[in-house]
Structure 1
Amino acid sequence: MDLFGDLPEPTHVTGKDPKPPEEDRGEKRKHDEVQENEVTEQNNQEEKKVCKEYARLKAYVAARRGEREEMQDAHVLLPDMRSVISTLPSQVSRLAYFAVFDGHGGARASRFAAEHLHHNLVAKFPRGDGENLDKLIKKCLLDTFRQTDEDFLKKASSQKPAWKDGSTATCVLVVDDTLYVANLGDSRAVLCRSEHVEDSGEKKSVTLALSKEHNPTIYEERMRIQRAGGTVREGRVLGVLEVSRSIGDGQYKRCGVISTPDLRRCQLTASDRFIILACDGLFKVFSPEEAVKYVVNILEDTSVAVERKEGQTEGEGRYDAACQRLASEAVRRGCADNVTVILVSIEF
C-alpha cells in the first residue's frame, strides 16, 4: 500500500498555518490511524519473532582415528549462526548448522569443505522478505555445494602435483524449527522420534532417515556414471571410488561423479529427541536403528552413572557420554576407518 495515498494535498500558505478544514482533519486522523495500526502490527511481529520458542539444540561430537594413519574426517558445529551471518531475513529467527565431512585420498577436501561450505552458505542465504523461503533455501544449498566444489577443484588443480582428494558431506541447516539436510556420498543423518504404541500406550523410539546414500551400485547413480562414459566395477567408479557424489575427486568428474546434494526437509516436533550425523565408519558396524537404540539406552539407563564435565547438567552429561561411547563402540566392533559422530539433542 502507498502510505502517501491517504495524505491530503499540501496547501501553500504563508505565515501561521490556518486551522485545517473539517474534512482535512478527518483525513489526517484516518492517516494517523493507518500509521498507528501499521506500527502496532510491526511491533507485534517483532515481539512474536523474539518471544517464539524454538527447539533447544545442543551438539556433541566424538572423533576416532581408528586404524588409519591419518584423521581424514572433519566436522562443524554452529548451534547459532549469528556469529558468521550479519543479518537474518526478517522471517527467520534462528539459524543453526551441523556438518560432518569424510575425506578420502587425503584430508584436504574434507578440511576445505569444513572451512568454506558454511561461509558460502551464508553468502548465498536469501536476504529480505522472499515469498517462497523454502524454495530459496533449497536453491541456496545447491549453489553452495556447487561453489564449494568448484573452489576446491580450482585450488586442487593449481597444485603440483594436483590434489586428488575428495570428501563426502552431510549438512543439517536448521531454520527456526525446520531441518534442511543436504548430503553427498555415504555419510548419514538420522532422527530419533518418540511415538506412542497404540495397544500399550507406551512410547517407542523410531528412526527416520534424513539423508540418502550415494554409491555406484544404486541404479540411478550407475546409469549416470555410464552415460558420462564411466564404468562401475566391483561396486566402485572405475573400480576405485566408493561414492558416486562428492566434493573434490577432480579426476572422476568426467566419469559422472557430481557434487549435487540430495536435499530433504523435516519439521521438528515435540516428539523429536536427537539427530545423529556420522560418517560411514559408524554405519559400517551399526545400522541406523542400532545406533539410535544404543544412544537411547544410555540416555534412559539412569542406573549407570556417567561422568559430567564442569557445568554440564545430568542430561547434557548423558548425551555427551552417549556420543563418546557410540564412536568408541564402533571402533571396538572392528571398524578400522575414521569414525566421527555428531549428536544433536532436541528439547522443546
Structure 2
Amino acid sequence: MDLFGDLPAPTNAGCKNEASPVEEKTEEMDEKVEERGEKRKRDGDLDQQQVEEKDEAEKKVCKGLAKLKGVVAARRGEREEMQDAHVLLPNLSECMKTLPAQVSRLSYFAVFDGHGGARASQFAAENLHHTVISKFPKGDVENLDKLVKKCLLDSFRQTDEDFLKKASSQKPAWKDGSTATCLLVVDNVLYVANLGDSRAVLCRIEQTDSGDENCVTLALSKEHNPTIYEERMRIQRAGGSVRDGRVLGVLEVSRSIGDGQYKRCGVISTPDLRRCQLTPKDRFVILACDGLFKVFSAEEAIKYVNKILQQDSGVDGKAGQTLEEAGRYEEACQRLASEAVRRGCADNVTVILISIEF
C-alpha cells in the first residue's frame, strides 16, 4: 500500500519551467516509498503463500488418516532367555527423505520370535525396517500397491540373506532363526507380512440387527508350519522331511529368517502378504508371537482386550483418545500378556496392541 496514497498528486499544470531541485527530490522520495511499499506487498504475498502451502501440507497429512498408537508387553515366561524382539515406529515416514506423492504417512510395527538363540530376532528387529525404508517406492508411482508388496518381499529376502551371511561367518556358525510378523501402514491401508507362527488380528466393531455392537475378529496373517499341505510338499520336494509336525523332526516352522541349516530342506524366507483397508469400524490390532496363541484363540484375545477397553469407558469415540483411554490400552496389553503366562504358557510372550482412531 502507498503510504501517501491519500495525498493529492503533484502537478506541473501551467508551469513552463523545469522542476525545481526541491520538486525533483520530492519525486525521488515518492518513488522510493512506492518501491518499498511494493516490496513489502510482494514479501507479504510470499509469506502468505508459504503459510498456505504449509497449511495445505498439514491438511494432506491429517485429512482422513486414522490415528495409530502402539503399546507393548513382553514376558520371559519360564524360558532362561528372552528371545523375542519387537519394533514400534508409528511415524516411520519421519525416517524417510522422500515419499511417493500420494502417500502422507507410514507406520511400522513388528514382532519377532526367535528360536535357537536371540540373534536372528534381534538382527531382524534392528535391520528389517531400514531395508524397507531403502526399498520403499519413491517419486511419482502408478501402481503403489504392487510396489509396496514388492518392497516387503525384497526386504524380507535381503534381511534373511544378510543375517545368514553374518551367521555363517561366525566360529562356530550361528544357528539362530526367527519368525516375523510386520505391519506396515501406508496412509489407511494395512500391509501385513509374516513368516512362521506369530500372528496379526484385527478387531472390527459391527452392529447387529438388534442394534448391539458385535466384536468381529479378522485374521491378517497366515501361519507357516510343516503340517500344512503346501508347506510339507515344498519341504519334501527340496529333499527334507516332516516328522512329528516338525522339519526333520526339529524345527516347528516352515518359513523363517535365519535357520541356515534348514534352508536346503525347503525352509524359506518368503512372507505371506495381506492387505486390509482400515475403516471407522476398526478398533485395534494385536500383533503377538505364538506364546500368546498357545493359550488364547484369536477370538478370545480380541474379546479379552475389548472387555477391558469397555470397562468404565464413558468416552465418546468421536471426542478423541483421552489419557484415560490410552491408559486402558496399556492396561489391556499388559493384562493380556500376563494372562497368557497365568494360563500356563511357558514360552516367551510378546504382545503389541495398536489402537485405531478416526
Q: Within 2, Cα distance between the matches of 1:85 and 1:328?
A: 36
Q: Which has the larger radius of gyration?
A: 2
Q: Within 2, Cα distance between the matches of 1:51 and 1:156?
A: 43
Q: Displacement, 1:49?
A: 2.0
CA deviation string 1:252-271 (max 9, x = no partner): 00000000000000000000
* Structure 1 residue matching 2:82: 3-state secondary structure: coil
- Say whether 1:179 aligns with 2:184: no
* Structure 1 residue matching 2:103: 3-state secondary structure: coil
Q: Within 2, Cα distance between the matches of 1:253 and 1:292?
A: 35
1:167 equivalent among 172, 175, 178? 178
Query: Is the CA contact 2:110–2:287 (under 8 Å) kept in the aligned structure 1?
Result: yes
Q: Within 1, Cα distance between the matches of 2:354 and 2:121?
A: 21
Name the residue aligned to 2:144: 133
- Say whether 1:293 aligns with 2:297: no
Name the residue aligned to 1:282: 292
Structure 1: runs of 5+ lacking an equivalent: 1-38, 304-311
Q: Displacement, 1:88?
A: 1.5
Q: Within 2, Cα distance between the matches of 1:346 and 1:329?
A: 23
Structure-2 change in CA distance of 1:302 and 1:47 (3 Å)? closer
Query: Is the CA contact 2:61–2:105 (under 8 Å) kept in the aligned structure 1?
Result: no
1:77 equivalent among 74, 83, 88? 88
Query: Is the CA contact 2:98–2:139 (under 8 Å) kept in the aligned structure 1?
Result: no
Q: Displacement, 1:45?
A: 7.7
Structure 2: runs of 5+ lacking an equivalent: 1-48, 314-321
- Say whether 1:118 aligns with 2:129: yes
Name the residue aligned to 1:105: 116
Name the residue aligned to 2:23: none
Name the residue aligned to 1:307: none
- Say whether 1:346 aligns with 2:349: no
TM-score normalised per structure 1: 0.84
2:232 equivalent among 212, 216, 222? 222
Equivalences, count: 301
Q: Within 2, Cα distance between the matches of 1:216 and 1:68?
A: 24
Q: Within 1, Cα distance between the matches of 2:282 and 2:203?
A: 6
Q: Within 1, Cα distance between the matches of 2:186 and 2:304?
A: 28
* Structure 2 residue matching 1:93: 3-state secondary structure: coil
Name the residue aligned to 1:235: 245
Q: Within 2, Cα distance between the matches of 1:337 and 1:127?
A: 41
1:259 equivalent among 255, 261, 269? 269
* Structure 1 residue matching 2:96: 3-state secondary structure: coil
Name the residue aligned to 1:315: 325
Q: Within 2, Cα distance between the matches of 1:120 and 1:256?
A: 24
* Structure 2 residue matching 1:152: 3-state secondary structure: helix
Name the residue aligned to 1:148: 159
Letter in 2 for 1:266: C
Letter in 2 for 1:93: S
Q: Within 2, Cα distance between the matches of 1:90 and 1:192?
A: 30
CA deviation string 1:238-257 (max 9, x = no partner): 00000000000000000000
Structure-2 change in CA distance of 1:114 and 1:47 (3 Å)? closer
Name the residue aligned to 1:86: 97
> Which runs of structure 2 are paired with 1:8-23 in the superposition (5 Å)?
none
Aligned-residue CA RMSD in angstroms?
A: 1.9
* Structure 1 residue matching 2:182: 3-state secondary structure: strand
